[in-house]
Amino acid sequence: MQPIFRNVAIIGKYQGSRARPAPDTLCHAIRAIAAFVHALGCELTLEAETAANTHLSDYPTRDLDGIGRHCDLGLVVGGDGTMLSVGRRLASHGTPLIGVNKGRLGFITDIPLESYEATLAPMLAGEYEEDVRPLMHGRVLRGRDCVFEALALNDVVVNRGSTAGMVELRIEVDGGFVANQRADGLIVASPTGSTAYALSAGGPMLHPSIPGWVLVPIAPHTLTHRPIVLPDTAEVVIELASGRDASANFDMQSLAQLKQGDRVVVHRSPHSACFLHPVGWSYFATLRDKLRWNEGGS
């Protein structure tokens, strides 16, 4: 089978920093996958920080923006956190991504490392399932000024400080007042993020094809504050009415400290991440496997 992706980039546990070298197991995995993909006839590029962290110098390197401009495919070796980071950065370029799981759960990096050869060969030849996940765009407004903004694939979370008490949040949807809520925080999660923090806080799981978000309170003072499913065309505004040391987190990878009166504004980004899965991939099979639904069953 001849690959349809001619220029493939490998990104491994993206750090954004050369401060910490990658562990030997990751270096070995990336070296083996790179040699395998190159042997299939693909031109290979290493993401620059990956090359620096793994000390691999056998292939040309580009930063993530360069990969988005010049490569047909990104092959991400790591866990879901790595895929989230790379997905946000490459979404504006429309670069499809395949994930080889070197982490723990692997909801979106779904190819087991031990079977990458049998799985990647047909995928690179065009046998795959496409899975498009819209992004969220969040801004922190202080008065009329935007003091922080970021994209998120999973969720935007307003959290109380680690040593502070509850926060009071004023919530609006599409300009209409919803409620004042006293809680430890509030999660705005996409279908992708509905199986992450939102699930731990008692929210529902949303199928990836649903164009919606879920608004999930974290330990609310009033127990009748329950998760709400919203259309992803909505604009959600969360104002910090009171509380100290609160923050806004974007995929738990970008952080903004909040002051009283700050507003976190969330709307759907025009960009989407494109994940490729093996033929036969099933969302429900992923849930069964990762959430261990069948353990103890007959």
Among all residues, which ones are annotated catalytic?
80
Q: In the block, which residue shows the tokens 């923090």?
A: 197
Distance separating alpha carbons of residues 169 and 160, to the nearest angstrom: 10
Q: In the block, which residue shows the tokens 């923006």?
A: 65
**Contact criterion met (CB below 8 Å) for 64 and 85:** no
DSSP 192: T
| Contacts made by residues 282-286, CB under 8 angstroms, sequence distance 24+ | 283/207, 283/208, 286/107, 286/110
The secondary element (H helix, E strand) that includes residue 289 is helix 283-291
